[in-house]
C-alpha cells in the first residue's frame, strides 16, 4: 500500500471511532445522521449517477428508504474528502454504492470500520469489470514533434502516472445498464417482498437507456465529423469507446491541472484547424478560458464552444430542480449532434 493511502486509512479509522464514540449517530436533522432505527433501509451513494438510478428504481416504495448523496455540494469525485459525518453515514447504512476507482482510496477502511454488520457494498467498477478501459495519459505528439517545452506535471496531479482504469464509468449508457441491473438486484436482496417492483422499474429504466443509446448511435452515423476536441479534462473515455469517436484533449480525465502550457494550446489549435472542426468542448461547470484562447488563435476564430455534462459535480439546488441522469444524457445527445454536424 502506498504511504499516502496508508496514512489516509489510519486517519479514517480514527475518524470513524471518534464519530461513533461522540454520538453522531443519534442525529436526525437535515445535514445530520439519519435515524438508522426508523425502520427504513438506508442507502448511501458517493456520486450523483447511482443516486439517481436508485431513486428511479425505488419509485413506488420511496417511503421505505432513506437515500443519501455524499457529493451534493458541487465538488467532484477527484477532490472529494469525506467528512466525519460522511464516514458515519457509510458505516451505519444498509447499502453503500461507490465508484471504486483510485479516488475512492478512503472507502476500503471505512467499510472495515462499519458498525452495521449486514452492510452491503456495490463497487460500480467491479460491476462492469469486463468493460473497464484504462485511463489514457494524454500524449501530445505535436509538442514532441515541434520540440516545445512544457511545464512538467506534478506527481500529485498525475496520480503518480500509474496505469489505472478510468473511473467515469457512468458516462457510458451501456455501462449504466449493467450497473442499474446490479443495483436492482441489491434492492431485491435488501427488500425481497418488493423485489418485483424493483425488477419492473429496472426493466423500464434500462429500456430508456437502450433507446437513448440507439439515438446516440444514429447521431454518430448521421454526423459529418467523428472527432471531439476538449479544451478541458477528458472524462468521456467510455463514451467515445461506445460510439467509435476520436478525441483530443488538454488534460487527462482525473487531472487537477487548470492551466494549459503553450505547447498544449498550440496542439489544440493545430488539431482544431487540421481537422476543420467547428466547435470545442468544455465540461459543465468549467471555465471556458482555454477554449476561448484556442478559438481566438485559429485562422477563422469562429468556432463554437459547447458544453458536455459529465455529472461529476451536482448541487443540492440542481437535485431540488429535478436534475436527472437521463435528462443530462439527452442534453449531451443534442450537443453531440451539433459537434458532429
Q: What is the mean pLDDT of residues 126-153?
A: 68
Predicted confidence at residue 77, as pLDDT, reads 81
pLDDT for 144 beyond 70: no
Residues in Cβ contact with 333 at an 8 Å cutoff, skipping those fewer than 6 apart:
212, 215, 216, 219
CA distances from 199 to 14, 41, 67, 194 (A): 40, 18, 19, 9
11 pLDDT tier (thresholds 50, 70, 90)? very low
Predicted confidence at residue 37, as pLDDT, reads 75
Q: What is the mean pLDDT of residues 201-216?
A: 99
If we measure between CA atoms, which residue out of 261, 235, 264 comes closest to residue 78? 235
Predicted confidence at residue 34, as pLDDT, reads 63
Q: What is the mean pLDDT of residues 178-197?
A: 99
Predicted confidence at residue 163, as pLDDT, reads 64
Alpha-carbon distance 212 to 37, whole Å? 40
Q: Contact at 8 Å (CB) between 265 and 293?
A: yes
Q: What is the mean pLDDT of residues 89-118?
A: 94
Residues in Cβ contact with 39 at an 8 Å cutoff, skipping those fewer than 6 apart:
none
5 pLDDT tier (thresholds 50, 70, 90)? very low
pLDDT tens, residue by residue, 150-172: 554 333 343 444 568 999 999 99
pLDDT for 149 beyond 60: no
254 pLDDT tier (thresholds 50, 70, 90)? low
Long-range pairs for 238-244 at CB < 8 Å and ≥24 separation?
238/131, 238/133, 238/166, 238/168, 238/169, 238/171, 238/172, 238/175, 239/171, 239/172, 241/133, 241/172, 242/172, 242/173, 242/174, 242/213, 242/216, 243/216, 243/217, 244/220
40 pLDDT tier (thresholds 50, 70, 90)? very high
Residue 252's φ and ψ, nearest 5 degrees, are -65, 165
Predicted confidence at residue 165, as pLDDT, reads 93
If we measure between CA atoms, which residue out of 56, 85, 58, 59 comes closest to residue 72? 85
Q: Contact at 8 Å (CB) between 168 and 236?
A: yes
Predicted confidence at residue 31, as pLDDT, reads 56
Predicted TM-score (pTM) of this structure: 0.85
DSSP string, 145-206: HTT---PPPPTTTTGGG---B-S-GGGSHHHHHHHHHHHHHHHHHH-GGGHHHHHHHHHHHH
35 pLDDT tier (thresholds 50, 70, 90)? low
pLDDT tens, residue by residue, 272-329: 999 999 999 999 999 899 999 999 999 999 999 999 999 998 999 999 999 999 999 9
121 pLDDT tier (thresholds 50, 70, 90)? very high
All domains in the chain, ordered by first residue: 3-131+171-205 (3.40.50.1980), 141-163+222-340 (3.40.50.1980)
Q: Is the dihedral of CA 267, 247, 157, 325 positive or negative?
A: positive
Q: What is the mean pLDDT of residues 16-37?
A: 48
Predicted confidence at residue 78, as pLDDT, reads 80
Flag the least confident range among 101-110, 180-189, 240-249: 101-110
Amino acid at each position: 500500500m502506498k504511504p499516502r493511502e496508508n496514512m489516509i486509512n489510519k486517519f479514517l479509522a480514527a475518524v470513524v471511532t471518534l464519530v461513533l464514540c461522540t454520538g453522531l449517530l443519534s442525529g436526525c436533522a437535515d445535514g445530520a445522521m439519519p435515524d438508522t432505527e426508523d425502520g427504513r433501509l438506508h442507502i448511501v451513494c458517493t456520486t450523483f449517477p447511482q443516486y439517481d438510478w436508485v431513486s428511479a428504481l425505488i419509485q413506488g416504495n420511496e417511503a421505505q428508504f432513506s437515500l443519501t448523496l455524499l457529493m451534493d455540494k458541487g465538488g467532484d469525485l477527484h477532490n472529494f474528502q469525506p467528512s466525519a459525518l460522511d464516514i458515519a453515514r457509510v458505516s451505519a447504512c444498509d447499502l453503500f454504492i461507490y465508484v471504486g476507482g483510485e479516488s475512492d482510496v478512503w472507502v476500503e477502511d471505512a467499510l472495515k470500520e462499519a458498525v452495521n454488520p449486514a452492510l452491503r457494498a456495490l463497487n460500480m467498477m467491479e460491476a462492469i469489470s469486463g468493460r473497464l478501459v484504462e485511463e489514457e495519459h494524454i500524449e501530445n505528439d505535436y509538442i514532441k514533434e515541434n520540440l516545445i517545452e512544457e511545464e512538467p506535471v506534478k506527481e500529485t496531479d498525475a496520480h503518480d502516472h500509474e496505469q489505472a482504469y478510468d473511473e467515469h464509468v457512468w458516462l457510458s449508457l451501456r455501462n449504466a445498464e449493467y450497473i442499474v441491473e446490479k443495483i436492482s438486484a441489491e434492492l431485491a436482496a435488501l427488500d425481497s417482498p418488493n423485489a418485483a417492483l424493483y425488477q419492473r422499474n429496472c426493466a423500464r429504466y434500462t429500456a430508456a437507456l437502450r433507446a437513448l443509446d440507439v439515438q446516440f448511435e444514429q447521431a454518430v452515423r448521421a454526423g459529418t465529423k467523428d472527432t471531439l476536441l476538449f479544451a478541458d479534462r477528458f472524462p468521456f473515455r467510455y463514451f467515445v469507446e461506445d460510439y467509435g469517436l476520436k478525441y483530443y484533449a488538454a488534460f487527462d480525465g482525473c487531472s487537477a491541472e487548470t492551466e494549459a502550457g503553450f505547447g498544449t494550446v498550440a496542439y489544440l489549435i493545430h488539431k482544431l484547424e487540421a481537422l476543420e472542426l467547428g466547435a470545442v468542448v468544455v465540461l459543465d461547470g468549467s471555465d471556458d478560458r482555454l477554449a476561448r484562447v484556442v478559438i481566438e488563435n485559429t485562422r477563422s476564430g469562429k468556432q463554437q464552444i459547447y458544453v458536455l455534462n459529465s455529472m461529476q459535480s451536482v448541487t443540492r439546488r440542481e437535485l431540488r430542480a429535478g436534475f436527472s441522469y437521463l435528462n443530462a444524457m439527452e442534453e449531451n445527445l443534442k450537443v453531440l449532434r451539433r459537434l458532429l454536424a
